[in-house]
């Protein structure tokens, strides 16, 4: 990665102020989104990986909002240790919803896949609540509409709000932001107060996403650098999996089980991926 490819941090003037007027906070959230837009479109960033990592953060936040806080490690297990035919449980369902919302290009089909319990007509009605305002007010209006009708549907409301924000920004995929930073108290607000909280959440989440993007770009550079040293058949495809997923079980790699485990150990030894669980068995690996 050349110097010109490196991801610049969020400008300090966007993040330092905390007692702004409504106009100020709206301007700052726009500046934060503009900076993040440039980051997301950059060639150095493994975009699928960033979205999957942010989806995990969003799932973690939604579990806390529901009163059942689960840390990232437990959520990874809920998602990756499922066997065929197993039901995912509440934590797994939330993780799957966010992953499905973020992994495919933004479309009505993607939203239906992420939120199978909600009908297309209902989604259309909520979408109409967005109106023609700016990106963040549109997202806040959809979130408000969902929670007014279904106060406990935090995950659905936030996913549809993120989709509204992404559409308004011209992004091809959902990039979880609001869910990462909105608090339980924020979701009880309405009107201008909710819009203000969403603007603040965007500033914080876009700043966090920018820092995460820079970290993932560095780690991806390291993984790509060691890839030529890997001799296992299917290693190139395996590298692609690591560059698209927050966490990977050896069994998910396109190699025989023993070869996949050896490859993961080799990548850990080379400093290209990390073992995420600290366990001796049922291990997960990630960039």
One pLDDT digit (tens) per residue for the chain, 287 residues: 443 358 889 999 998 866 678 889 999 999 999 999 999 988 778 999 999 999 999 999 999 988 888 889 999 999 888 887 788 888 999 999 999 999 999 998 999 999 988 888 888 878 787 777 899 999 999 999 999 999 999 999 999 999 999 999 999 999 999 999 999 999 999 999 999 999 999 999 999 999 999 999 999 999 999 999 888 788 999 999 999 999 999 999 999 999 999 999 999 999 999 999 999 989 999 99
Per-residue pLDDT at 42 = 80
Per-residue pLDDT at 2 = 46
Per-residue pLDDT at 4 = 37
Q: Which helix (H) or strand (E) holds 158?
A: helix 154-169
Per-residue pLDDT at 22 = 87
Per-residue pLDDT at 258 = 93
Q: Distances from the Cα of 130 to the Cαs of 123, 165, 250, 272, in angstroms? A: 11, 10, 43, 43
Kindly tell me the sign of the dihedral angle through the C-alpha atoms of 116, 119, 125, 128: positive
Alpha carbons 234 and 205: distance in angstroms, whole number: 36
CA angle 184, 207, 195 (to 5 degrees): 45
Facing residues of 275 across strands?
A: 285
Beta strands in the chain (DSSP E): 274-275, 285-286
Whether pTM exceeds 0.85: yes
Q: Which residues contact 108 (CB under 8 A, 6 or more apart)?
A: 120, 123
Per-residue pLDDT at 21 = 83
Per-residue pLDDT at 19 = 60
Per-residue pLDDT at 15 = 85
Per-residue pLDDT at 123 = 80
Helix (H, G, I), strand (E, B) or coil at 248: strand
Query: What DSSP character marks residue 122?
Result: H
Taking the chain, what is the end-to-end CA distance rounded to the nearest angstrom? 16
């Amino acid at each position: 990665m050349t110097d010109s490819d490196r991801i610049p941090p969020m400008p300090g003037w966007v993040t330092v102020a905390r007692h702004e007027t409504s106009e100020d906070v709206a301007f700052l959230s726009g500046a934060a989104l503009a900076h993040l837009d440039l980051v997301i479109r950059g060639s150095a960033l493994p975009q699928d990986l960033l979205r999957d990592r942010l989806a995990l953060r969003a799932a973690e936040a939604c579990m806390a909002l529901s009163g059942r806080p689960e840390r990232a490690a437990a959520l990874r297990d809920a998602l990756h240790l499922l066997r065929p035919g197993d039901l995912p449980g509440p934590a797994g369902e939330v993780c799957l919803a966010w992953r499905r919302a973020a992994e495919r290009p933004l479309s009505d089909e993607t939203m239906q896949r992420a939120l199978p319990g909600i009908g297309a007509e209902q989604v259309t009605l909520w979408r109409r609540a967005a109106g023609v305002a700016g990106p963040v007010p549109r997202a806040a209006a959809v979130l408000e509409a969902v929670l007014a009708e279904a106060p406990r549907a935090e995950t659905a409301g936030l996913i549809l709000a993120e989709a509204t924000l992404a559409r308004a920004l011209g992004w091809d995929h959902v990039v979880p932001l609001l869910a990462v930073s909105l608090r339980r108290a924020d979701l009880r607000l309405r009107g201008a107060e909710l819009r203000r909280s969403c603007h603040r959440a965007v500033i914080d989440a876009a700043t966090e996403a920018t820092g995460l993007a820079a970290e993932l770009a560095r780690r991806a550079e390291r993984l790509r650098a060691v890839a030529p040293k890997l001799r296992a058949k299917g290693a190139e495809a395996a590298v692609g999996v690591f560059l698209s997923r927050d966490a990977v079980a050896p069994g998910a790699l396109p190699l025989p089980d023993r070869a996949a485990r050896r490859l993961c150990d080799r990548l850990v030894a080379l400093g290209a991926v990390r073992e995420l669980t600290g366990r001796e068995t049922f291990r997960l690996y990630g960039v």
